[in-house]
Amino acid sequence: MTAKRTLSDRASALPALAEAFREHGFEGASLTILSQATGLGKGSLYNFFPGGKEEMLAAVLADIHAWFATHLFDPLERSDDPRAAIRSMIEQVTAYFRSGQRVCLVGSISLGASGGGFSHRVSAYFARWITALAECLERGRVAPTAARAFAEETVCAIQGAIILSRALGDEAIFGSIVGRQEKVLLDAMAANRS
């Protein structure tokens, strides 16, 4: 795997690093692989990330969290139109995970041997997603206990859909599962309208 262009700064290296960690995992992503992915020599990688692979992964996770905060968490937390926020969330996760063909790096880190060192970040990512979605559902007049359960089930369904879609090589599975989950959420809000 070689980069199409040489990256010249830390921020521009993050997408290539993220894809290398997705493809190889933390343990499998050697400095050689990370260097090839970014087009940066090992010295340049250490210049941008003096803490080595751990700092690279920490920066990638922070970048992913920032994307999710901007495109999912903030809209779910702040929207005056919960139905539109949920539709947007489904649209954004479908695009981000490329209809289930792109591994959830945060999820895979939580399962890997290196997960312990990043457990707080992983936990914060999933906790914020669940809380933001539950609060959005509550604004849509779903009772708090039910809203929390729906939020947990939705995040679980999205993560499971990624795994199943990739395992079976069928992105239609992702769309089907995520679409059904969207309908469940929208129906729950509709049932509580006065």
- Per-domain residue ranges for the chain? 1-50, 61-191
Q: What is the mean pLDDT of residues 88-95?
A: 94
Query: Rounded distance, CA 143 to CA 151, Å?
Result: 12
Superfamily of domain 1-50: Homeodomain-like (1.10.10.60)
The 10 Å Cβ neighbour count of residue 172 is: 11
Whether the predicted pLDDT of 38 surpasses 70: yes
Q: Could you tell me the pTM of the whole model?
A: 0.86
Whether the predicted pLDDT of 112 surpasses 70: no
Average pLDDT across the chain, whole number = 88
pLDDT at 119: 79
**49-53, 84-88, 117-121: which range is least confident on average?**
117-121
Q: Which fold has domain 61-191?
A: Tetracycline Repressor; domain 2 (1.10.357)
pLDDT at 114: 55
Tokens, residue 188: 């729950």
